[in-house]
Structure 1
Amino acid sequence: MNNPFIPDLEVELVAGALDALHESTRIQGKIVDDAASDAGAVVLLEINGRKLRYHCAVKKKVDRYALPHDLLNRLDNAQHTLLVSSPLSPDMANRCRDIGLQFIDTAGNAYINDGAGIYVHVTGRRGDIDRQFPVNDTMTPAALRMMFASLAEPALLDAPYRDISSRARISTGAISKAFETLESRGLIGLASSGKRMIRTPELFLNEWASGYAGRLKPKLRKYRFAIDNLDRFLTWNPEFQLSAWGGEPAAMMLTGHLKPEACTVYVDMDDPHTLKDIVKDFRLRADPQGRIEIIEMFWNPDHFTDSFPTVPLHLVYADLMATHDSRNIAAARQLIPGITQHVHDSTR
């Protein structure tokens, strides 16, 4: 392997992943020279007498905040690209599988699916995962609320703290720390004008979506209910500023390409009537496995209402991506251009 454009450390990581793959599956693999590829290593895997050729997307660290979704959205040909990384957690390995991102890692975990009869899925091998993936607890709920507000109104990045606090429901004391977190992770920076800006909107969006599912949503008040007639529930009209559609119903309205199998609704739970009225009107029954999820609005409901009757698009995106359902992920991707364009338009 003599391609001078590929760093030695990248070659070393790919070689280590191929060795681990052989140990866990007996699959033979090798790095091949490809004069036409100056962007990364190319590997050849031999599986059941067939040879599969992949371009490698090498990422030394893929933690729970740097989602594979951003990488998948940027790939020209996901079917012939292989993510190669240090050990992935079981959750991250399953996420890669669910969205169709093939990978191998240096612990011997793998997901390979050529769509023509070859299917390999290995997860749970730890390697040095604890050493190489220290838990990152810097992305606090306050920082995630800041991200939510910034995607909705990018100008808030330079607004007075009292305005940010009011809209995003963050204490003024937590705002400086939230900014430090986002700056240290390279998510925001300074424009030539000296104002704060979101550096890479799509990466910022995926970081927000992952953080919301893993860190913020678990702390919110939420309820699940069963219903006998889901179609009837979909005829419900949210009350402006007190409730709004999220998840699959919102995607149906925004894309026209998804029939909801579950419903997500965000409700102002400081209002004493909204939740009770929904439960009563549709005869909902408490059920932890129910298809209707009602979640508290964690922002000031007087703001971020431009997309009503749905919640802001980036929250719909987060809801859909968290399901790991391929049809929801496809719908979520349709929302990306509108979200990133809103950020660009707001920072001109």
Structure 2
Amino acid sequence: MKQEMLHIALDNFKKITGMDVLLKDNTPLDGVLEIPALGNGVHYVVELKQEIRPHQVQQLEYNSKEYGNFMVVANQIFPKVKEELRAKGIAYLETNGNTFIKQENIFLFIDTQKTSIQTKEKGNRAFTKTGLKVLLHLLNNKEDINLPQRELAKLTKVGLGSIPQVIEGLKETGYLLQLNNKTYVWENRKELLDRWVIEYDTVLKPKLKKERYDFQGNWEDIVLVKELTVWGGEPAADILTNYLRPEKLIIYTKENRLNLMKNYRLIPKANGQIEAYEMFWEQDKQKPTAPPILVYAELLLEGGKRNNETATKIFNEYIQPKL
């Protein structure tokens, strides 16, 4: 699917510019492109993305510094992200042919094409509200993909009928390969994690928001009932890394408003310091934070240098070993 996206992008680029693009190699990242019309030997290490959100720019900037001539190819790049990429001198190509390349005596900028109709996959049940809940569990527990479907449904608290739909969606997108009737193996789990973050932000998170609360004192002095309410986002990141001083406070909870007020002396307030979201997973009673993947996602979505640095620490220590 990613290679199909690349070929669509290159075909549209040629239609608009008249320039041929040669796919020279499959590595590093997603391949190496050469554009002979721009000069002999001018090539770009390419990374393919379905779409690019603001929280992904830092990683793209790292890749640009790592590989020198670097280009990101995507189905869709949001306008503000394009501006940021151009400001950082990062080359990009959308599947519709919109392009930015700037280096030494080369400057190519096309931004006249409408968004490609290929930007969204329709009907994939792996990335619905229910599917994203299942994926959080599977990103944390990759071996569980080979559990009986009834057991996986029980672990993830979703209907049994949703499990085969999620599995089929993962197979369609190339993240899951079926070896036989009972065994699956994973592919591109880091890419799946990146997509989970994007889909969580737009599909699941808006449905989880409950209310905002105010409180008196220090957030660290609030003693939460861990199986019912835990810290997320920046306070959770501080607990996990001792690297971040929280400015935005998030809790995930199964408790109602009355219990939050009674148990933690929280005061409902429209612009309160604490944002409360519904807890949608089975919480480990020994841990005071949301799963590291969820903490990582919140940091990336909030953005900022310190949040991104902390997200990298959480990824390296808590997430990468499970991918």
Q: How does the TM-score come out when normalised to structure 1? A: 0.68
Is 1:286 matched up with 2:241? no
Instruction: Determine the structure 2 residue equivalent to 1:296.
Output: 278
Q: Is the deviation greater in 185-194 or in 316-325?
A: 185-194
Q: Which residue of 1 aligns with 2:312?
A: 333
CA contact (8 A) 2:70 2:91 kept: yes
What secondary structure does 1:299 align onto?
A: coil
CA distance in 1, matches of 2:72, 2:14: 10
- DSSP-derived class of the 2:32 partner: coil
Take 1:77 and 1:281, find their aligned partners in 2: how far apart are those partners? 48
**In structure 2, do the counterparts of structure 1 residues 213 and 126 end up closer, same or farther at CA, with 3 Å as the change threshold?**
farther
Does 2:46 align with 1:57? yes
Task: Give the letter for the 1:277 counterpart.
Answer: K
What is the CA–CA distance in structure 2 between the aligned matches of 1:199 and 1:74, rounded to whole Å?
23
Matched residue, 2:117: 131
1:187-336 correspondence to structure 2 within 5 Å: 187-190=175-178, 195-226=183-214, 232-269=218-255, 273-277=258-262, 281-283=265-267, 285-287=269-271, 290-301=272-283, 304-305=284-285, 308-336=287-315
Classify 1:164/1:126 alpha carbon distance in 2 versus 1 (closer, same or farther; 3 Å): farther
CA contact (8 A) 2:52 2:78 kept: no
Letter in 2 for 1:275: L
Q: CA deviation at 1:147?
A: 0.6
Q: SS of the counterpart of 2:227?
A: coil
Aligned length: 303
* Residue 40 (structure 1) aligns with: 32
Change (3 A) 1:261 1:272: closer
The residue type equivalent to 2:269 in the other structure is R
In structure 2, do the counterparts of structure 1 residues 154 and 305 end up closer, same or farther at CA, with 3 Å as the change threshold? farther
| 1:305–1:150 CA distance, 2 compared to 1 (3 A) | farther
How far apart, in 2, do the equivalents of 1:191 and 1:99 lie? 46
Secondary structure, counterpart of 1:241 in structure 2: coil
The one-letter amino acid of 1:326's match is K
The CA distance in 2 between the partners of 1:204 and 1:94, in whole Å, is: 23
1-structure distance, mates of 2:52, 2:123: 11
- 1:70-85 alignment, distance < 5 Å: 72=60, 75=63, 77=65, 80-85=68-73
- Give the root-mean-square deviation of aligned CA atoms: 4.5
Alpha-carbon deviations, 1:207-237, whole Å to 9, x = none? 22111111111122422345576xx123323
Q: Any conservation in 1 of the 2:93–2:99 contact (CA below 8 Å)?
A: yes
Equivalent-residue separation in structure 2 for 1:79 and 1:166 (angstroms) = 45
| TM superposition shift of 1:63 | 2.9
Task: Specify the SS of the correspondent of 1:183.
Answer: helix
Q: Tell me what 1:343 maps to.
A: 322
The answer to which of 331-340 and 146-155 deviates more is 331-340
Structure 2 vs 1, CA of residues 83 and 262 (structure 1 numbering), >3 Å: closer, same or farther? Answer: same
- Residue 150 of structure 2 is matched in structure 1 by 162
Q: In 1, distance between residues paired with 2:295 and 2:66?
A: 24
1:152 and 2:140 matched: yes
Q: Deviations over 1:31-54 (max 9, x none)?
A: 99x9xx99523679x9xxxxxx88
Task: Quote the residue 2:3 is aligned against.
Answer: none
Counterpart CA distance in 1 for 2:285 and 2:88 is 34
Q: Percent identity?
A: 20
**TM-score, normalised via structure 2 length:** 0.73
> Which residue type is aligned with residue 173 of structure 2?
R
CA shift, 1:30, in A, is 11
C-alpha distance in 1, partners of 2:188/2:194? 10
Q: Secondary structure at the match of 1:186?
A: coil
Q: Does 1:184 align with 2:172?
A: yes
- The structural deviation recorded for 1:249 is 0.9
Task: Please say if residues 209 and 278 of structure 2, whose CA atoms lie closer than 8 Å, have aligned partners that are also in contact.
Answer: yes
Structure 2: runs of 5+ lacking an equivalent: 1-5
User: Whole-Å Cα distance in 2 between the matches of residues 222 and 155 of structure 1?
Assistant: 33
- Supply the distance in 2 between the matched residues of 1:31 and 1:144 (Cα, whole angstroms): 37
- 1:275-327, CA deviations, whole angstroms, 9 ceiling, x for partnerless residues? 2336x62445222xx442111101234xx456x11111111111112113332
The whole-number CA distance in structure 2 between the counterparts of 1:259 and 1:68 is 22
